[in-house]
């Protein structure tokens, strides 16, 4: 803005009116980002410049510029007015559209930024609801693992394995299945980071109550935080149990005003089972609460809980880390899948039954499904026994809605196998995420000998990992026995549809 006379006097506005203005500015920013993405897509696909000018709306912007050449944009006027009313050294209101959006816990129930973010989360939930879909048509046969012996049983509940406390992960390794170069939270975040230098540390402890099945995160205090505004900050801590980034996973402390060494002494509690905890990563971040505008990131700590030593309940210091952006393509796995397989040779049950060899696949549960947006998803599993990739070979489970650890408990049976066929075949299981009318592949597993060959021909889908080969081989060597395991849902499956 060049002239102060063009600024608006906003000093008379109430807190609710300020909230309404901020909400409109945020909505305007989101719409602009969406339109810019649409235009970029058109520029890549449309070769005709005349048609591109028409479809992208460039002609409209040109005409508007000619007609209103000396008129300031309304959004710019409001932003400049707020800057002029309340100057800040940390982040101007124009930064509302530059830095990461965050929601501060209110010091009272009327905090405008918290209300806006909560409303956005509710809108996201409504937009992600999927319509009812037709039930799948597999050939189910309820397996009973008690009928035969189980060679291994990894899927049963195990005691929590100890892990030396005090290890934080900026370069994240979530269980054995997530391997990221950067922060897991950055997968679900938009915008940029770095408005405030990250420094300082946080003191907190973890405790799991086995009787009540509660995880307790006791946030004690922070030291040496970065100053976000006039040599101080208004910090608060927030926790997520990733990959769930929904409101059910979000817990926050209260805001501590004008301090770089806040004492919170608050306990954040999560009600969940041991198996659920093992599939999660704790993300504890510290933020500066801005009364009007976007809250500023002050640092974070991420801890995988797969093998945490729950006998260690004393608080430990953790250095706050910057949030490093990582690409979704860097994820080697998007969760775990628990399953059992069994091969029943022809006539092995007596009386000539079964008439031909049968391959049984029992899909029990997925754990810690990591979607592109985070949070609970609608998922199902497809199966094929390759090299038969036809419709008759394809089966799928029912869809389990709004869960990151869905229980499928679904059996699939494939008939007509001889023992020799198993050394040429591959059981492909893929996990899918449905969003609206579209479905997206998360990843899968391939159970096979992993030789790269099928009936003498080279095939790309015989690319099983060592764990997958071990399970398939155990099934062949132990007919009529359930082979149980938990495998990572890997994202590097070779594309067989070429």
β 333-344/438-447 pair status: unpaired
pLDDT in tens, 393-438: 899 999 999 888 899 999 999 999 999 999 999 999 999 999 888 8
How many independent structural domains does the chain possess?
Answer: 2
> Rounded CA gap, 308 and 279, in Å?
11
What does the pLDDT read at residue 328?
A: 54
Residues 308 and 456 in one domain: no
CB atoms within 10 A of CB 210: 11
**Residue 429, domain member (yes or no):** yes
Residues 271 and 302 in one domain: yes
Asked whether the predicted pLDDT for residue 20 surpasses 50, the reply is yes
Q: Identify the CA nearest to 174 among candidates 427, 399, 374, 432.
A: 374
**What does pLDDT average to over the chain?**
76
Of 290 and 461, which is predicted with more confidence? 461
Domain final residue pick, 319, 350, 384: 319
> Rounded CA gap, 175 and 348, in Å?
39
Asked whether the predicted pLDDT for residue 451 surpasses 90, the reply is yes
Q: Which of 70-74, 88-92, 452-456 has the highest mean pLDDT?
A: 452-456
- At 471 the three-state DSSP class reads helix
At residue 64, φ and ψ (nearest 5 deg) are: -65, -40
What does the pLDDT read at residue 170?
A: 32
Q: Which of 85-99, 138-152, 267-281, 377-391 has the highest mean pLDDT?
A: 377-391
What does the pLDDT read at residue 73?
A: 67
32-46, 99-113, 216-230: least confidently modelled range: 99-113
Residues 344 and 459 in one domain: yes
Which CA distances in Å does 19 have to 73, 74, 113, 291, 336?
A: 20, 17, 7, 10, 42
Asked whether the predicted pLDDT for residue 127 surpasses 50, the reply is no
Residues 310 and 425 in one domain: no
Residues 287 and 372 in one domain: no
pTM metric for this prediction: 0.51
Residues 399 and 456 in one domain: yes
Residues 364 and 281 in one domain: no
Residues 444 and 349 in one domain: yes
pLDDT in tens, 153-185: 333 333 333 433 333 333 233 333 444 445 555
Where residue 15 falls among pLDDT bands split at 50, 70, 90? low
Residue-range definition of the domain harbouring residue 293: 184-319
pLDDT in tens, 312-337: 999 999 999 988 665 555 566 788 89
**Residue 229, domain member (yes or no):** yes
Q: What is the mean pLDDT of residues 369-388?
A: 85
Which tokens belong to 398? 């029912």
CATH of residue 306? 2.60.40.150
Whether 110 contacts 116, CB under 8 Å: no
Residues 362 and 463 in one domain: yes
pLDDT above 90 covers a percentage of the chain that reads: 37
Round to the nearest angstrom and report the end-to-end CA distance of the chain. 56
**Residue 250, domain member (yes or no):** yes
What does the pLDDT read at residue 84?
A: 52
Q: What is the DSSP letter of 178?
A: E
> Rounded CA gap, 430 and 304, in Å?
25
Element (H, E) at 37: helix 15-45
Q: Judging by beta carbons within 10 Å of its beta carbon (0-12, 13-18, 19+), is residue 312 exposed, middle or buried?
A: middle
Residues 252 and 377 in one domain: no
> Rounded CA gap, 395 and 137, in Å?
7
What does the pLDDT read at residue 154?
A: 34
> Rounded CA gap, 271 and 208, in Å?
10
Residues 294 and 340 in one domain: no
> Rounded CA gap, 431 and 57, in Å?
39
CB atoms within 10 A of CB 249: 20
């Amino acid at each position: 803005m060049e002239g102060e006379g063009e600024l608006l006097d906003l000093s008379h506005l109430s807190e609710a009116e300020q909230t309404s203005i901020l909400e409109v500015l945020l909505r305007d920013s989101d719409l602009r980002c969406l339109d810019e993405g649409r235009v970029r897509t058109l520029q890549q696909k449309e070769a005709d410049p005349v048609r591109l000018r028409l479809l992208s709306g460039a002609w409209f912007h040109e005409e508007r510029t000619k007609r209103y050449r000396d008129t300031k944009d309304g959004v710019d006027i409001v932003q400049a007015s707020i800057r002029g009313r309340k100057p800040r050294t940390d982040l101007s209101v124009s930064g509302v559209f530059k830095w990461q959006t965050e929601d501060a816990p209110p010091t009272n129930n009327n905090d405008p930024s918290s209300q806006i973010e909560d409303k956005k989360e509710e809108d996201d939930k409504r937009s992600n609801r999927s319509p009812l879909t037709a039930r799948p048509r597999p050939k189910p046969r309820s397996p009973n693992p008690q009928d035969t012996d189980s060679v291994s049983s990894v899927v049963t509940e195990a005691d929590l394995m100890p892990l030396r406390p005090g290890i934080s992960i900026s370069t994240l390794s979530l269980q054995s299945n997530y391997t990221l170069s950067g922060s897991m939270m950055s997968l679900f975040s938009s915008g940029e980071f770095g408005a405030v230098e990250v420094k300082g540390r946080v003191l907190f402890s973890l405790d799991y109550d086995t009787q009540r099945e509660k995880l307790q995160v006791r946030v004690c205090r922070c030291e040496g935080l970065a100053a976000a505004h006039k040599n101080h900050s208004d910090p608060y801590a927030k926790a997520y149990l990733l990959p769930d980034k929904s409101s059910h996973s979000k817990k926050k402390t209260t805001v501590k005003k004008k301090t770089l060494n806040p004492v919170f002494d608050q306990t954040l509690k999560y009600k969940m089972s041991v198996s659920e905890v093992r599939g999660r990563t704790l993300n504890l971040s510290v933020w500066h609460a801005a009364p009007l505008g976007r809250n500023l990131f002050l640092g974070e700590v991420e801890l995988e809980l797969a093998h945490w030593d729950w006998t260690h309940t004393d608080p430990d210091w953790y250095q706050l880390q910057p949030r490093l952006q990582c690409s979704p393509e860097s994820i080697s796995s998007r969760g775990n899948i628990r399953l059992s397989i069994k091969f029943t040779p022809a006539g092995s049950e007596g009386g000539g039954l079964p008439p031909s060899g049968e391959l049984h696949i029992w899909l029990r549960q997925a754990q810690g499904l990591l979607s592109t947006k985070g949070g609970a998803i609608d998922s199902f599993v497809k199966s094929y026994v390759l090299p038969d990739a036809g419709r008759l070979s394809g089966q799928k489970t029912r869809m389990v809605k709004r869960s990151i650890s869905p229980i499928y408990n679904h059996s699939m049976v494939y008939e007509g196998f001889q023992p020799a066929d198993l050394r040429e075949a591959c059981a492909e299981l893929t996990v899918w995420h449905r969003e609206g009318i579209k479905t997206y592949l998360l990843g899968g597993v391939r159970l096979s000998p992993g030789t790269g060959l099928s009936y003498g021909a080279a095939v790309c889908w015989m690319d099983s990992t060592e764990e997958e080969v071990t399970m398939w081989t155990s099934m062949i060597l132990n007919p009529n026995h359930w082979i149980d395991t938990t495998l990572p849902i890997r994202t590097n499956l070779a594309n067989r549809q070429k």
